[in-house]
């Protein structure tokens, strides 16, 4: 049996796979159900967010495989392991500001998960993974800043 060299890092990478997959679904809900005067600006922005997350998801999964791990690959695994809500949404359930508050909270959660991954990779001296996650966290921090600005608050509020 081969010894797992980076167990904490690999576990966190799988956590990120579950969370990135769920966040893409949650953003797609916003994309489909948003309405209001900001629709034409924010509708395509949700596509941009999802494109970024899809790229990150692919790199995280490929890094996990490169380390000898097995990425979660079913919707059941994603739902069972994510820390993000898996909520059925209806057309009139939320107004656009409500969706954006939810998105802000979920981006902040993801930033925290990236930090946990960077910490695990640092502890296990897996610097390539740490570097990759640092770049992804920087992108998410920028998204937090933009969504927070839309909500009229600072990124750390």
Q: What is the pLDDT of residues 114-125, one digit of tens each?
A: 999 999 999 999
Phi, psi of 131 (to 5 degrees): -65, -45
Per-residue model confidence (pLDDT) at position 8: 98
Q: Which residues make Cβ contacts (< 8 Å) with residue 30, sequence separation at least 6?
A: 42, 46, 99, 100, 102, 103
**In the predicted model, what is the mean pLDDT of the chain?**
95
Q: Is domain 7-150 in CATH 1.20.1260.10, yes or no?
A: yes
Average pLDDT of each block of 10 consecutive residues along the chain (157 residues)?
86 98 97 92 96 98 97 97 93 88 97 98 98 98 96 86
Question: How do residues 79-106 score in pLDDT, each as one tens digit?
Answer: 999 999 999 988 788 899 999 999 999 9
What is the C-alpha to C-alpha distance for residues 154 and 85, in angstroms, rounded to an integer? 24
Q: How many CA atoms lie within 13 A of 87 on its CB side?
A: 17
Given a contact cutoff of 8 angstroms between Cβ atoms, the answer to whether 78 and 18 are in contact is yes
For the entire predicted model, the pTM comes to 0.95
| Percent over 90 (pLDDT), the chain | 87
Domain spans of the chain? 7-150
């Amino acid at each position: 049996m081969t010894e797992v060299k980076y167990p904490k890092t690999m576990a966190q990478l799988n956590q990120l796979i579950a969370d990135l997959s769920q966040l893409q679904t949650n953003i797609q809900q916003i994309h489909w159900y948003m309405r209001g005067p900001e629709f034409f600006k924010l509708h395509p922005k949700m596509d941009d967010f999802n494109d970024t997350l899809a790229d990150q998801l692919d790199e995280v999964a490929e890094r996990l495989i490169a380390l000898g791990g097995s990425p979660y690959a079913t919707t059941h695994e994603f739902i069972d392991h994510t820390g993000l809500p898996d909520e059925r949404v209806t057309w009139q359930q939320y107004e656009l500001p409500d969706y954006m508050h939810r998105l802000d909270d979920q981006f902040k959660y993801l930033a925290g998960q990236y930090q946990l991954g960077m910490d695990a990779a640092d502890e296990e001296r897996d610097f390539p993974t740490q570097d990759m996650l640092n770049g992804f966290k920087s992108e998410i921090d920028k998204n937090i800043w933009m969504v927070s600005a839309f909500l009229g608050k600072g990124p750390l509020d």
